[in-house]
Each structure stands twice: as C-alpha cells, then as structure tokens.
Structure 1
Amino acid sequence: MARAEHPPSTVLGPDGRVRLIDLPAGLPLGVGGLPFETADLELDEGSLLALCGDGLLLADHRDIDQGLTLLRTVLAGPARSLEHTCKAVEDAMLPDRPADDVTLLLGRTQVLAAEKVATWELSTDPTAAGRARSLVTDRLAKWGLEEVAFTTELIVSELVTNAYRYAGSPVLLRLIRDSHLICEVSDTSSTSPHLRQARSTDEGGRGLFLVAQLSERWGTRYGRNGKTIWAEQPLSTAAPNARNSETRPS
C-alpha cells in the first residue's frame, strides 16, 4: 500500500481489535516530485479494511484525531455487512450535510477454497498459448463451466501471446472461480498495455480489443516484480458490458 496525503487506513481484525496502518506519508496524486513509499502487510481472513478521505474525519467540526477515534469506535461495533457498516459510519459521523467531499471505502478479506483456484507456470516456447488453451479447457470442464470455455480460451490465448511477445518469461496463468470467472496472466514486465483500434490493414493490435469485448471488466495490476493483466467474466447468461478497470488492486 501507499498513501497520497490521505489519513491512515484502519483495520478491524477478526478478533475485534482496531488499529491504524502505519504508512509513509506521500504527496497528493498528480503533484509529482518524490516517489511514493510503499508498505506491505498481511491481513488475517475476515479483516475489515477502511480507507477514507479527511472529509469524513473532519465533518461536524472535528479534528483528525477525533475523527479517527470515532471511526474506530463505529467499526468496532456489532458485526455487520459492509453496506450496513457504511450506513453506521454515515449515521455516526455525518449528522449534517458535510462541507467537503466524503469518501469511504470498505473491504473484507476472504480466502478462496483451493478448488476454486488453478495456477500454472508456462514454459517459454511457441506452443505456450496452445498449452494454455488446453489447460483452461480441462479445468473448466472439471468445474462444469463448459459454456464459457470458448470465450475463456480466446481471452487466455490473447493474454498469454501478448505476455510472451512483449514481456518474455516466466508467465503465470491463473483461473479464479467465484461469483465471476477471472483469468489472470502475470509476467515480469512493468510496461502498461494499451487498448487501440487496429486498422483494417494491420496484421496485429487487436488482442486487448478482443479481450475487452469478450469480458465484463479487465485491467492491469502492478507488483514489485512485474504486472498482471486480468479479465473478468460473469457466470450467468447476462451479456457482457466491457469496462476497462486499469488500477491498483489487490
């Protein structure tokens, strides 16, 4: 995590203990200058992570310390869904219309069962995309998701081909099955992919455009040793509505 002049993030552990995350302070986004310092932390399953702007903490003429104390008190209350927790924070901290913008983002960590995740490291050879398609088809058959096999093969093939063409090895392929089906391809390059409209005479340049058309959402997540391009498909009969969600993360 990194902090861009926002208040420290708050974590409510599964044991009910609330603590602030000690992150190095950083300049606001877009200002430039010094690089952002990052910090790594490991959260237990069932932890509640709260990120907010100072508009929430300073509402109702509070100072930052008072706002943080009140936020911790509300988060440590009875166990609630994320939606009801947001409503509880709103009721406690925003009695009147705030003068500043208010931002609150909550997330709860969970661990997927091992049978919902499949991971493969692909070797460096021209048949990598074909092997990826075969692995994906077999796994989707085991999961009973044959109806999305053709679309998923196309997505995986494009992502793996791009990874080898522009990043080199090693390439990691991962499928995650939850409420959606997520395909991830990770490589050691930090180069950002760009979606573009290929001309009719171009021989290439349609890979990400195809991924965007076939998926509900797609994006890029950066790490210390490279990047991951992911594409998400709904496990339903609803038609996909492609959106680019290049970010940040997870």
Structure 2
Amino acid sequence: MPYKLFSKKFLTIATQRCMSQYTKTELSNGIKTITMCDTKTRNSLSINMMGDLIKNIKDTNNTDLRVIIITSEGPVFSAGHNLKEIAQDPLKQRTCFNLASELMFSIIDSPVPVIAKVDGVAAAAGCQLVAQCDIAVCTDRSKFSTPGANFGIFCSTPGIALARCVNKMATLHMLLAGLPVSAEEAKNIGLVTQVCKPEMLDEYLQVICTAITTKSRDVIELGKRFYYKQIQYDIRKAYELGADKMVDNLQIPDCQEGIKSFIEKRKPQWSKK
C-alpha cells in the first residue's frame, strides 16, 4: 500500500481511509489506492462493486491527489461481471453494462493517472478494467483472459478496451479462443506496462508514483486529456490540435514556473488548484 511504499520524507499528509463491503480506499501522500475486497465473488464487477469504483475514481476534489491505484485482495484481481446477478433480469443487464461504460469513462475522464496493480487473474470485464487504465503493472504469476465465448456471452465490451491497447491478432486471439495469456505475454502485446516478481511490485509502483507526484497536476491533467482526444483523429488533425495544445500549455502558470526553474537550475514549486 502507498503508506508502506514511500519513505518518511515523502509522507507529508495524513492518511485517509474509507471502507465498504466491496472496496477499501486509502489516500496518502497524494496517492489514492482503491482495493476491491469482495473476495467471495472473486472481486466480480457487480453493480455495487462498479458503483463503489466509480464513486471513488470520480472523487478527485482533494487538491493533493496525484495518482489513483486500483488493486484487489485475494488471488483474483477481478473475474469480470457477476453472471449470477445479470443472468435472468434484462433490467439488471442494461444497468450492469451501462455502469461498466461509466466506469471505463471515469478512468478516461479522471484528471489524474489511474494505474492497475494486478497480482492474480484478470478475466473478462476484469481484463477490460486493466486494459482501460492509463498504466498497468502486474506480478509474473498474473494471467489475463476474455473467456466469455466459453460460456455463451462474447466479451464484446472487454474487446473495446483491448482493441485500443493491443494489436488486432492478439486481441482476437484472446476474444475468439478465450485462452488466458501469461503476464509476460501480456507485456509483449501491450496489455501491461511492467511485469515484476510479487515482492518487487510495490517497489516498481513507488518508482512510477514518485515520478508522477513530483509533476504538476495541472500539466498532467492537460496531457492526459489531450492524449485521449487526439487518438480519435487522423494524424494531420492530431498534429494541428497538438500545436494548439502546446500553446495552451505554455500559458499555464505551472508551465511558466517549470521553465523558470529549469533556467534557474532549481526544483519547480507547483501550484495547487
């Protein structure tokens, strides 16, 4: 957890904790960790679980917040949607998939980076959740799959997130065959950023989080929002928009402070919203 990850010199704010039946949250030193803890259902993305995740991801009003980590308890990161919950009820089915879309967009729209921390199995919508995060790190014992076709429900929505971070053949192999891929395979196809030994996972996360938390939140937010905007356009339009965004970026006070600190050879003093 973030409290253990960072040395004392980084612990500048009090740790805040919140717990429900489905998730535990902890905010410390600018890092919010959301832990799925419904191990009885293998951390299934039930309607209640997704509601908790959405609420916690969207709660970004704390100006100290810089990073969100999504992780889990138990050997399964998430087994995907709770099929028992939605098997027979069309209303629950629609509610479930609408919430799933809202969850994915909450990650995209979050002003701070969202990182998946995986130590175990991520299947179906659980794999979708990993693929939709901005960064994903996992242990070498983790596995990823979209096995819905095995049970008669094709992983159509998980395929949306997969297709946007993994190449076509790897995506279709996962969707059509339904076979799991190893952690190393997941890294090779672009599904995860880094694979670590279990005992090294927190250390690697520390490196990423420290790198992000030392940057301006305003600048990171601008950059993340533009990334998701520009990938919708052809390359000519993207460069046109990118030039405008660079000019906008230069008007931000934190950018001016960053340039000034670089010239003066000192650490920048970022503002807070």
Q: TM-score, normalised by structure 1?
A: 0.27
Greater share of residues in strand: 1
Greater share of residues in helix: 2
Larger RCO (CA under 8 A, 6+ residues apart):
2
Q: TM-score, normalised by structure 2?
A: 0.26
